[in-house]
A and B are shown apart, each in its own frame.
Chain A
Amino acid sequence: MAYSKSRYLVRRLQLDPSLIIVILLLAIVVISGFVLSDRFGTTRNFMNVLEQSSGLGFASIGQAMVVIVGGIDLSIGAVVTASTIFMAAIVDLHPGLMIPMIFGTLLFGAMIGFCNGYITIKTGVHPLIVTLGTASILNGSVLIYTLQPTGGVPYWFEEFAYGRIWNVPISGLVMLLCFALVWLFLRYFQAGRAFYAVGGNPEAARLSGIQSNRIILLAYSASGFFAALAGVYFVSRTGVGDPRIGDPITLASITPVIIGGLILGGGKGNVLGVLLGVILISLLSNLLNYMNISTFIQWVIQGVIIIIAVSVYVHKGKKL
C-alpha cells in the first residue's frame, strides 16, 4: 500500500470537527467584517492584525504545548511581565547587550517554565496551583522592583514589532514560523508524539517506556520560553518594561487553545487550530473596535466564547 502525505492531511482535516468550526467562525467574522466596515477588508488592516496578534500568538503556543501534555500554565502573564522588565531594565543600563539580552530573556522565561514543570513533577501538586503560585511570586517580585513602566531599549528594536518585510510584519512572520516549527515538532518528532501520549494516557505512557517527566519539563520550559518571546515582542512594541502588561495575557492565552480544539486534560489537538484561534480572536477584536464596541463588552464576549467553546467540545471525564 502506498501512503501519500497529502491524502493523510486531507483525512486529518476531515476528521477534526473543531478545525472546521474554527474555519467556519473565521469565515463568518471575515465576511461580517467586509459587510460591516469598509476599513476592515484591506491588506493593510490584515497586516496590522497579524502584527497585533503576535503577542497573543506567542503566549498561546506555549499554553497549547502545556495543555497537550495535560497541564495548564497560569504563570504565562507573569512571565511576560517579568520578561519585559528583565529585558528593558538591563538593556537600559547596558544598551550594548541588546542582542544577547533577547536570548537572555528567552532563557530566563524557559528557566521559569522549567521550575514550574519541576515543581509539578516533584510535588505532585496540580499545575494550576503551582503556576498560580509562581505567577504570584513573579508578580510580587516585579512590583517590588517597580510600580511604573521602566527601563528602555534602543529605538531600532521596535523594528521587531513594527518592521515589515515585503509589507508583512516581522513579528507576525516570527509567530507564523514558531507555529510552523511547533507543528512540525509535534507531528514529525518522536518527542512531539510523546506529548500526546503523556497527555492522553499518562500511565500507558509510563508503561510504554516514555520518559514522561522529560516531556512535561520540556512542555513547561517551552511555555516559559514562548511567554518570554511575547515579552520581547511587547518590549519592542512599547519600548519599556511594564509591570502590568502581562495581566490579561494568561486568560487570553487559554482562549485560542480552547477554541482551537485542545482539551484541558490533554492528549488531543493541533496547534494549527490554536493559530486559527489566535487569528479569529484578533480579527474579532479588530472588527469590534471598528464597530466602536467598548473593550469592556469585548471582555464579556471573550468570557462567553470560552464558555461556549468548552460547552460545545464537551468532554467526558476529563476535567481540570
Chain B
Amino acid sequence: MSEAAVNPSEGISKIFRQPGRFIVPLSLVLLVGTATLLQPSFLSINNIQDILTQAAPLALVVLGQAFVILVRGLDLSVASLMASAAVLATAFNATSDAMIPVIFLVTIVVSAGVGLINGLLVTKRNVSPFLATLAMMIVLQGIRFYYTQGAPSGSLPEGFRVLGAGRLAGIPVNMLVFFFFFCILGWLLHKSSFGRKIYITGGNPKSANLVGIHADRVTIICYVICSVMAGIAGLFLVGFVGTVDNWVGRGYELDAIVACVLGGIMLTGGKGTLWGAATGALILILIFNIVIILGLPVQAQLIIKGIIIIFVAGLFSRSTQT
C-alpha cells in the first residue's frame, strides 16, 4: 500500500491548509479539462501553438515582474514601457531585418535605464514602489504620446512578424525566446548566489543588510531585470499584433501581477518560484481562452481577472497567517 493511499483525508486537509502548493497544478488540470470539454479541438496541436504564441509576451513580462515582487516591490510601469518600446522600435523606420539586433539593443538599454530609475527611486529615495512606477508609467506615456503626437507612424522590419508570430519546427518562435529567458532567469533566481540574495532581501531587507548583502543593489537589479523583460516583451508583442499603437500591452501590468499571484509569488516578498510565475501566466491565458470559447464578450476577462486576484490573494494571505 502506498503512503498516499493510507490517509486520504489528511491529503485533503493539507490542501486546505496549504492551498498555495496545490492551487497551481489543480487549476491547470481543471482549466484544460474544462476547455477540452467545451471544445474538443482545444487540445489540437494548432490550438496549443496558438495559445503558446499568445502567452509568450505576457509570460516574458511575468518573469520580470516576479523578480520585483520577490523583493517586496511592484512594477506598474511595465505595460507603458512595452508600448514605449514598440514605439521606439518604429522610430528607426527600418525596413531591413539587419536592424533588428540594433532595435533590440537600444530597447534593452533604454528599458534598463527606466528600471534603474524605478529602482533608485524605491531604494535611495524611499518612494513607495507603487507610486514610483505609477509615476514612471505616466511619464513614459506622456513622452510616447508627445513623440507620436497621438498616432504612431513609422514601420517595422518584416522579421518582427516572424519573431512575434512565426514558428520554428512547429514551436512558436516567441515561446523559444521565452524558454531561453526562463532558463537564464531561472538559473539566476534558483541556482546562483544572487538568487539567494534576492530571497534574503525580499524576505527580510533589514537582515539582508546585516549579513552583508547590499539590499538596495539587489533591489535595483531586480527592477532593471523587470524593465528589460518588459521592453523585450513589448517588441515581441508588437511583432505578434503586427501594428504599433500607443496602447500596445495595455492592461499587461495588471495581468502580470495577477499571473504572479496565481503562480504563488507572495506580494509581501521573499516567496515564490519562477516556475510558478510562468504557470500563472499560462493559467491566465487559458482562462482568457475559455472566456472566448464560451462566447463571452472579451471584456468579461476583466471581470474574471478582478475576481481571481482578490480571491487568490485572499487565499494566500490566509494560508500564510497560520
Do A and B touch (CB < 8 Å)? yes
Residues of A near any B CB (own CB < 8 A)? 72, 119, 122-126, 128-130, 132-141, 143-144, 251, 254, 258, 264-265, 294-304, 306-307, 310-311, 314-316, 319-320
Complex CA–CA separation, A319 to B261 (angstroms): 20
| Chain B residues positioned under 8 Å from A134 (CB to CB) | 306, 310
Complex CA–CA separation, A315 to B150 (angstroms): 37
| Chain B residues positioned under 8 Å from A72 (CB to CB) | 130
| Chain A residues positioned under 8 Å from B307 (CB to CB) | 133, 137
Q: A122-B314, A140-B302 are in contact. List 4 more A-B contacts (CB 8 A).
A: A296-B145, A310-B128, A310-B132, A311-B125
Is B142 touching A298 in the complex (CB atoms < 8 A)? yes
| Chain A residues positioned under 8 Å from B310 (CB to CB) | 119, 123, 125, 129-130, 133-134
Complex CA–CA separation, A226 to B142 (angstroms): 28
Complex CA–CA separation, A121 to B258 (angstroms): 20
User: Which of A125, A141, A258, A319 is the one whose CB lies under 8 Å from B313?
Assistant: A125
| Chain A residues positioned under 8 Å from B306 (CB to CB) | 132-138, 140
Interface locus among B15-23, B59-67, B133-141: B133-141
Would you give the 0/1 interface string for B147-174, flagging 1 where the beta carbon is closer than 8 Å to chain A? 0011000000000000000000000000
Complex CA–CA separation, A132 to B139 (angstroms): 21
Residues of B near any A CB (own CB < 8 A)? 74, 121, 125-132, 134-139, 141-146, 149-150, 254, 257, 261, 267, 297, 299-307, 309-310, 313-314, 317-318, 321
| Chain B residues positioned under 8 Å from A122 (CB to CB) | 314
A-B contacts, 28 listed (Cβ < 8 Å):
A119-B310, A123-B314, A123-B318, A124-B317, A125-B317, A126-B267, A129-B261, A132-B257, A132-B306, A136-B309, A140-B303, A140-B305, A254-B134, A264-B131, A295-B145, A296-B142, A296-B145, A296-B149, A296-B150, A299-B138, A299-B141, A300-B142, A300-B146, A307-B121, A307-B127, A307-B135, A311-B121, A316-B126
Complex CA–CA separation, A304 to B127 (angstroms): 13
Is B139 touching A303 in the complex (CB atoms < 8 A)? yes
| Chain A residues positioned under 8 Å from B302 (CB to CB) | 136-137, 139-140, 143
Is A125 touching B138 in the complex (CB atoms < 8 A)? no
| Chain B residues positioned under 8 Å from A319 (CB to CB) | 126, 128-129
User: Which of B74, B134, B143 is the one whose CB lies under 8 Å from A306?
Assistant: B134
B127: nearest residue on chain A (CB-CB)? A310
Is A300 touching B139 in the complex (CB atoms < 8 A)? yes
Is B139 touching A299 in the complex (CB atoms < 8 A)? yes
Q: How far is the CB of A64 from chain B (nearest CB, A)?
A: 15
Is B139 touching A304 in the complex (CB atoms < 8 A)? yes
Q: How far is the CB of B245 from chain A (nearest CB, A)?
A: 15
Is A306 touching B313 in the complex (CB atoms < 8 A)? no
| Chain A residues positioned under 8 Å from B144 (CB to CB) | 296
9 smallest beta-carbon distances between A and B, as pairs: A140-B302, A299-B142, A136-B306, A123-B314, A137-B306, A303-B139, A300-B142, A140-B303, A296-B146
Complex CA–CA separation, A119 to B310 (angstroms): 8
User: Which of A128, A137, A315 is the one whose CB lies under 8 Å from B126?
Assistant: A315
Is B131 touching A133 in the complex (CB atoms < 8 A)? no
A136: nearest residue on chain B (CB-CB)? B306
Q: How far is the CB of A281 from chain B (nearest CB, A)?
A: 13
Q: A132-B254, A306-B131, A307-B135 are in contact. Are A297 and B142 (CB under 8 A)?
A: yes
B140: nearest residue on chain A (CB-CB)? A303
B144: nearest residue on chain A (CB-CB)? A296
Q: A143-B299, A264-B130, A307-B121 are in contact. Are A299 and B309 (CB under 8 A)?
A: no
Is B309 touching A133 in the complex (CB atoms < 8 A)? yes
Is A140 touching B314 in the complex (CB atoms < 8 A)? no
A312: nearest residue on chain B (CB-CB)? B125
| Chain B residues positioned under 8 Å from A294 (CB to CB) | 146
Most buried by A among B121, B127, B306: B306
Complex CA–CA separation, A315 to B138 (angstroms): 23
Most buried by B among A139, A140, A141, A297: A140
